[in-house]
């Protein structure tokens, strides 16, 4: 689990100061060209590319193949120092599948932070590291997935999708002279393109790394639940006492005398705040048993459990 201290200073062009929270949410009638957002347009979305808001999501749509469109945001512009640690999180979905020959022509998120300079390329059903060395395939098409970058020191870092960490490098040793985020829409490439290719984002969040937060609520509540609820419980949420996230490899599931479900995803839902994450299971917990979920980030252990019967305390 990773979460945030009380504040972080993130400077946009060395002027604006932002706190831990949502770096940008696409809602109302605004998108990255909103002057208050701090994004710079590096490559315009010109026809046949169009961009607009739809159901609170920022959408890029290509009616036919076109050049890339790119928005750039400074995290810290010299001489401003970057934050001591950083996580960056966003949700993305696309109707464009990975083609038979890898091209990466859908969307890309590029990031520079201290000595880290890295990018990931995403399509509707996959994510690929910039060097092509790591793939995550088989994502559900046309569904929002939670993508996350994390670095505690500016050297070691990882990426994750829906709670699965898929890339950690020990030494990047790159200094680009500035810390930034870029969101690219690729617009398709040659024969891989199909009409009406669509990218959607609904937020970009950021903060510094901490740990040791406590779970203060679950939905449904931890403890006894009716049999009907338990047998359909393939996902639930946990809410921490501070903004937080949890990775799949930090969760242990036990069901004494039964077969425990497996956690297959950790993700944000549409309106979740930074302290709430959804835990997705491969199947509901077995009835008639206590299923325990142990969350351990190395500093704090949180335990919640579900059962569809009451234990007789007098037995």
For the segment 217-226, what is each residue's pLDDT rounded down to a tens digit?
A: 999 999 998 8
Do 222 and 146 belong to one domain?
A: no
Q: Do residues 63 and 153 both lie within one domain?
A: yes
Least confident of 118-132, 189-203, 286-300: 189-203
Question: Which of 144, 179, 207 is at the close of a domain?
Answer: 207
Close Cβ partners of 210 (under 8 Å, ≥ 6 residues apart): 2, 3, 4, 5, 242
In a domain, 258, yes or no: yes
Q: Are residues 73 and 192 in the same domain?
A: yes
pLDDT band at 172 (very low <50, low <70, confident <90, very high): confident
**Is residue 315 included in any domain, yes or no?**
no
Cα–chain center distance at 128: 15
pLDDT in tens, 264-280: 999 998 878 888 999 99
Find the domain containing 15 and state its range: 2-207
Residue 178 shares a structural domain with residue 222: no
Name 251's bridge partners: 295
Please answer whether residues 180 and 164 qualify as being in contact, where contact means their C-beta atoms are separated by less than 8 angstroms: no
- What's the pLDDT score for residue 13? 32
Q: How many domains is the chain built from?
A: 2
Do 277 and 188 share a domain, yes or no? no
Taking only the tens place, the pLDDT of each residue in 200-255 is 998 888 888 877 789 999 999 999 988 788 889 999 999 998 888 899 999 999 99
For residues 267 and 235, membership in a common domain is answered with yes
CA distance linking residue 51 with residue 13, whole number of Å: 24
Q: What value does the mean pLDDT take over residues 29-40?
A: 82
């Amino acid at each position: 689990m990773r979460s945030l201290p009380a504040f972080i200073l993130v400077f946009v062009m060395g002027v604006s100061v932002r706190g831990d929270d949502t770096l940008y949410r696409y809602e109302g009638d605004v998108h990255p060209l909103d002057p208050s957002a701090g994004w710079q347009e590096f490559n315009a979305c010109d026809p046949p590319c169009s961009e607009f808001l739809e159901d609170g999501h920022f959408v890029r749509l290509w009616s036919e193949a076109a050049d890339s469109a790119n928005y750039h945001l400074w995290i810290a512009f010299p001489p401003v120092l970057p934050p001591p640690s950083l996580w960056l999180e966003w949700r993305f979905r696309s109707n464009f599948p990975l083609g038979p020959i890898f091209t990466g022509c859908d969307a890309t998120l590029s990031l520079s932070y201290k000595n880290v300079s890295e990018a990931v390329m995403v399509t509707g059903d996959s994510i690929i590291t910039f060097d092509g060395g790591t793939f995550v395939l088989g994502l559900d098409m046309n569904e929002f997935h939670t993508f996350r970058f994390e670095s505690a020191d500016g050297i070691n870092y990882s990426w994750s999708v829906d709670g699965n960490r898929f890339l950690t490098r020990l030494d990047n040793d790159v200094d680009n002279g500035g810390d930034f985020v870029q969101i690219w829409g690729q617009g398709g490439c040659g024969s891989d393109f199909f009409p009406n290719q669509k990218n959607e984002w609904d937020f970009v969040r950021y903060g510094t790394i901490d740990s040791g937060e406590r779970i203060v609520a679950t939905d449904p509540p931890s403890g006894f639940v009716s049999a009907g609820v338990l047998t359909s419980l393939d996902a639930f949420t946990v809410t921490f006492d501070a903004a937080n996230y949890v990775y799949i490899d930090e969760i242990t599931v036990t069901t004494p005398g039964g077969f425990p479900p497996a956690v297959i995803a950790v993700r944000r839902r549409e309106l979740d705040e930074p302290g709430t994450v959804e835990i997705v299971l491969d199947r509901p917990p077995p009835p008639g048993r206590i299923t325990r979920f142990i969350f351990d980030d190395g500093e704090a252990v949180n335990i919640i459990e579900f059962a569809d019967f009451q234990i007789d305390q007098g037995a």
